Structure 1
Amino acid sequence: MSINNHPYIASPHNMRVKQWSSLLDKKYRDRTGQFIIEGVHLLQEALKSGASISVIVYDADRGIPAELLAPIYKEAANGVEWVKASSSVIAKCTGTDTAPPVFAVVSKLKADVARLFAKQSLVVVLDGIRDPGNAGTIIRSADAAGAHAVILGKGCVDLYNPKTVRSTMGSLFHLPIIEADLSELLTQAKSKGVKLVGTSLQATNTCYSYDWQQDTWLLMGSESEGLSAEVESMMDETIIIPMAGQSESLNVAMASTVLLFEAMRQRGFSK
């Protein structure tokens, strides 16, 4: 991979740079069907997953990160355009205080909706989760616990918000994440015998007494408002996370993680 053949862009006012930086704005992501990923780790995960990458831009002063020169990544990047750029260009196109050594432009992901109804389905459904850090962390936890998919309903933060993407730590490339109308999908799930479960402080069943081995979709609402009335009305069962200390509650990302790992324990780590 010879960097001598890669074009160099120095000015943040370059037309291509303006196009790339516009992807920090949702309306341009929606218009183009593309988004930005930042940093070596996210790029590695995108390459391994076979995501559609149109261009990789790296800091000319620092060179191509050594990790990306490994054979597996060099092969995966065949046919992808490489561009070297000034640090000011990198800074304009990324959303962090400290500019990463590399970023890439990626096509939005196509989710395999069939996995929603896999055998022993475990799906996380987010309703009105607006904080990108919480949404990204839940996606990461769902990936770690072996969930089949994550659904983002109306009112949720955009999956391709740069902060959400960073918070997933690459997990958005590992499992289907679907942005959808919840009323339609939840109705379909119920018709297939899926249990719709959510948390409630008034619940009598704990997350440890619930049978997570059955087809289950976990419904999680925003911390400030909880589930919308429409989604809450569709729940089959409510559960509570018991706490021994004096804390009133966990934030939605922490609560989701506890519930997902209890599901994982029951499904494969019961001993």
Structure 2
Amino acid sequence: MTSLRLKPATRTQLQRAAKLHRREQRTRHGQFLVEGPQSVREVLAFAPEVVRDLYVSEGAFESYPEIRELAAGTGVWTHSIDDDELRDLSGDAQGFVVVADVPVQKGAAELLAEAPLAIAAVGASDPGNVGSIVRSADAAGASAVLLTKGCAEVTAPKVVRSTVGSLFHVPAATNLNLE
């Protein structure tokens, strides 16, 4: 069994991570939050290269030992934090929050050249709907999601939560012109 790379979380780290709920901070730092056990499990399994830090509440690994194994196997920095600190970081975390780097986005032409099936959304501004579109595209076996200008930001916390990890299976091209 591989051991976890444990490191105490600093107050600065927690404050900076909490600021990633705001779009300007996500853009500035090129990072976003992944919240909840299912999404964290998926990012660790399918996109561990984007994971910067994993924050875990006390006892969370007892409920989800497979996430502990994934964290240990991928060698991500893991920070055990108390329930109050986790609540300050995210009200929807259910014990787990990852700070991830925004992956390099492929262009629409490149995605379409590689995709036998792609799903496009025009003006889907509701974050929950964009997450559902990504999740449905994944379930349908699509190889790409195309989002026009006016769609909710794919790294917004509500979008990421509503994809329930599908965001790490299906690449998305965003901010596209409809033409």
With normalisation by structure 1, the TM-score equals: 0.58
Equivalent of residue 139 in structure 1, options 134, 143, 148: 134
Alignment of 1:141-180 (within 5 A): 141-180=136-175
Q: Which segments of 5 or more consecutive residues in structure 1 lack a partner in the other structure?
A: 187-271
Q: Which residue of 2 aligns with 1:42?
A: 39
C-alpha deviation, 1:50, in angstroms: 2.6
Q: Are residues 58 and 73 of structure 1, via their aligned partners in 2, closer, same or farther at CA, if it must alter by over 3 Å?
A: closer
Give me the whole-angstrom Cα distance separating, in 2, the residues matched to 1:47 and 1:155: 30
Structure 1 residues 176-232: Cα deviation after superposition (integer angstroms, max 9, x where no partner): 11113324xx4xxxxxxxxxxxxxxxxxxxxxxxxxxxxxxxxxxxxxxxxxxxxxx
Output the CA distance in 1 between the equivalents of 2:89 and 2:4.
24
* Number of equivalenced pairs: 172
Relative to 1, partners in 2 of residues 1:42 and 1:147: Cα closer, same or farther, differing over 3 Å?
Answer: same
The 1-side partners of 2:29 and 2:9 are apart by 24
- Provide the aligned C-alpha RMSD in A: 2.0
2:72 is matched with which residue? 74
Q: Which residue of 2 aligns with 1:15?
A: 12
Higher percent of residues as helix: 2
- Residue of structure 1 aligned with 2:85, choices 82, 85, 89: 89
Q: Distance in 2 between matches of 1:164 and 1:86?
A: 26
1:58 paired residue number: 56
CA distance 1:174–1:63, shift in 2 (3 Å): closer
1:243 match:
none
Unaligned runs of 5+ in 2: none
CA distance in 2, matches of 1:93, 1:73: 19
Paired letter, 1:141: S
Q: Which secondary structure does the structure 1 equivalent of 2:151 belong to?
A: coil
Whole-Å Cα distance in 1 between the matches of residues 114 and 80 of structure 2? 43
Task: Choose between structure 1 and 2 for higher RCO, CA contacts under 8 A separated by at least 6 residues.
Answer: 2
Residues 55, 82 of structure 1: 8 Å contact kept: yes
Which secondary structure does the structure 2 equivalent of 1:133 belong to? helix
Q: 1:116 aligns with which of 103, 112, 118?
A: 112
- C-alpha distance in 1 between matches for 2:177 and 2:150: 11
> Which of the numbers 25, 28, 32 marks the counterpart of 2:29?
32
Deviation of 1:41 after TM superposition, in Å, equals 1.4
Q: In structure 1, what is the Cα distance between the partners aligned to 2:47 and 2:33?
A: 16
